[in-house]
Amino acid sequence: MARRGAGLVWAGLPLFFLALAFFIPLANVFLLGVRENGRWTAANLRAVLSDPYVRHLFSFTALQAFLSTLLSFALGFPLGWFLARYRFPGKGFLRAFTLAPFVLPPITVALGFFLFFGNTGYLNTALRAVFGLREPPLRLLYSLWAIVLAHAFYNAPVFARFVHAAWTSIDPTLEEACAVLGAPRFRAFSTVTLPLLLPAIFSAAALVFVLCFLSFAIPLSLGGARYATVEVGIYLYARVYLDFSRAAALGLVQILVTLALAYFYVQGSGFFGSRQGRTHPIPTLAFPSRPAHLLWLVWLLVSAVIFLGPMASVVADSFSRPLGGKPPGFGWYRAIFSPEQNPFIGISPLGSILVSLEVAGLSTLLALTLGLSVSGALRVLRSRALEAVLMAPMAVSSVVLGLALLLAFRKPPLSALPEKFSLVLAHGLMFYPFVVRIVRPIWEGLTPAWVEAARTLGAGRARAFLTLEMPLLSQAILVAGAFSLALSLGEMTAAAMLSRGELVTIPLAIYRFLSARRFGAASAMASLLILITVAAVAIWEWLGERSLRAYGQA
């Protein structure tokens, strides 16, 4: 009984907070979509569903998500195979590098694609010089394929991770048995290995499709209004056309579609879940050791162009792009801190940096507080219904969440808060589920007898948590905080929905420089964003480690 009471205490804080900052604002969006002049009506929903433009938004969103999933598979499956089957110097670094795209801000990736794959970008310039062409051979920008390629940049590592994990779990004696029976290598792969890999492939495909379906910054930057997705459509209705009823109705339809996709992913993950267990270490081949490995070198070169080219272009452009006839160097870094750049983004670049750091710091603390409370509640109260309620923000896209908070901050009680807190709330709600995913498994893995022993020695429940469980969870909390901090610094979707006046973050400043065709300024800001993100995470971890040492000595 006391354990259940402790669980209710843990759950009380996040439930009250979510009711005020999430469920009520989201309910207001629903009501705006289904009520008019105080009466219930389906007029807005009918208008949305019958609008050819909206039908185009959904069909194009599904098409680009499907194509992005296919290209992500085409790039990621060979990488997972390569990591699983070969040994070579730097293999650990390459495996760790597959996580890099997940911490890169989408607007920085979009800028990199502009600079690298653009008509006058580095790749087209090199191809024209090598082959003596007058026109750029690759015309990708503001097209479906630009969006698909950028999504593949982000999501091919998902396939690589899933395939690598599945492949290394397959019992190698199965393939050896095929070889003993005289089956060719390709037949052994197609009849034994591939069927065992299919669960991981289908699970990764479902996840990547959902991620691409809900993408915002990439379609907005690389596709524009012509190649808009549902997320971009909600943004355009709310912030450009100021048609909040249509935006709310479209958001309601999108949530229903998102919930269906999330349900399919969860059910599919269970249905396709692999049960194959590895009983022997998987044999690996030295690379390169065979003539056929030259084909892998071609694939690695293509992958390096796609994955390294855009990011290297951002840094190179920030130093090499000329400014006012001056030689290349730090000119654009000096320029972005001059008052002349302020009109392009609506605030000074230094101001946007300070806004980003303040919002990221506060939202990280909020995400950690909510994440720990939710983890504690779910650890004690084993309820699927409660877990669904406490983790509900995961099922709502950031555009719809931004719309809900945009409307909520226009009336009491949230209107009494500074506008900056709308973005803090948005980021905190978006990222605390990641804290739960990181902290909860470790917390549940702690031995309950330790807490019981502390209670037997006279420690209260709160003291047992602070002196026993908290130190054991400290490393997970530091990792979760660093992850939340990095995501907040690079997040642009909620900032685009909630930006008013001087509430401009670094990613939004980069987008505005990009829209104004100030590529040098955008590159310099993007390079600073990468540097600031790395520095902020390093400082966070240093301060955390220092406080933990001081706490341990005390």
Assess whether pLDDT exceeds 70 at residue 276: no
Q: Are 268 and 351 contained in the same domain? A: no
Q: With beta carbons less than 8 A apart as the criterion, state whether 363 and 226 touch.
A: no
Assess whether pLDDT exceeds 70 at residue 539: yes
Retrieve residue 223's tokens: 């596709």
pLDDT in tens, 325-381: 677 788 889 888 888 888 888 888 889 999 999 999 999 999 999 998 898 888 877
Computed over every residue of the chain, the mean pLDDT equals: 81
Task: Flag whether 39 is in a domain.
Answer: no
Q: Which domain CATH number covers 112?
A: 1.10.3720.10
Q: Point out the least confidently predicted range of 83-92, 101-110, 115-124, 310-319.
A: 83-92
Q: Are 263 and 372 contained in the same domain? A: no
Distance CA 66, CA 211 (A): 11
Q: Are 278 and 353 contained in the same domain? A: no
Task: Flag whether 20 is in a domain.
Answer: no
Task: Please state the rounded mean pLDDT for residues 3-30.
Answer: 80
For residues 125 and 476, the model is more confident at: 125
- Eight-class DSSP state of 290: S
If DSSP codes are grouped into helix, strand and coil, which group holds residue 285? strand
Q: Are 531 and 464 contained in the same domain? A: yes
Q: Are 242 and 374 contained in the same domain? A: no
Task: Flag whether 497 is in a domain.
Answer: yes
Domain edge (last residue) among 262, 291, 321: 321
Q: Are 512 and 418 contained in the same domain? A: yes
pLDDT the model gives residue 94: 74
With a CB cutoff of 8 Å and minimum separation 6, the contacts of 294 are 288
Task: Flag whether 543 is in a domain.
Answer: yes
Q: Point out the least confidently predicted range of 47-56, 227-236, 411-420.
A: 411-420
Task: Flag whether 43 is in a domain.
Answer: no
- Eight-class DSSP state of 281: P
Q: Which range marks the domain in which residue 253 is found?
A: 59-321
Q: With beta carbons less than 8 A apart as the criterion, state whether 88 and 287 touch.
A: yes
pTM: 0.83
Angle at 339 between CA 333 and CA 344, to 5 degrees: 85
Count CB neighbours of 365 within 10 A. Answer: 15
Q: Are 469 and 554 contained in the same domain? A: yes
pLDDT in tens, 214-252: 899 899 888 877 889 999 999 999 988 888 888 988 988
Residue 257, exposed/middle/buried by CB under 10 A (0-12, 13-18, 19+)? Answer: middle
Q: Are 233 and 91 contained in the same domain? A: yes
Q: Are 229 and 99 contained in the same domain? A: yes
Q: Are 355 and 289 contained in the same domain? A: no
Residues 112/116/121/124 CA torsion (nearest 10 deg): -160
Retrieve residue 244's tokens: 């909040």
Q: What is the 3-state secondary structure (H, E, C) of 292-360?
A: CHHHHHHHHHHHHHHHHHHHHHHHHHHHHCCECCECCCCHHHHHCCCHHHHHHHCCCHHHHHHHHHHHH
Q: Are 355 and 316 contained in the same domain? A: no
Domain count, the chain: 2
pLDDT in tens, 171-199: 666 666 666 666 666 676 777 777 878 88
> CA–CA distance from 482 to each of 391, 438, 443 (Å)?
20, 11, 18
If DSSP codes are grouped into helix, strand and coil, which group holds residue 138? coil
Task: Flag whether 237 is in a domain.
Answer: yes
Residue 275 confidence class, pLDDT cut points 50, 70, 90: very low
Q: Are 359 and 296 contained in the same domain? A: no
> CA–CA distance from 142 to each of 28, 113, 513 (Å)?
35, 11, 17
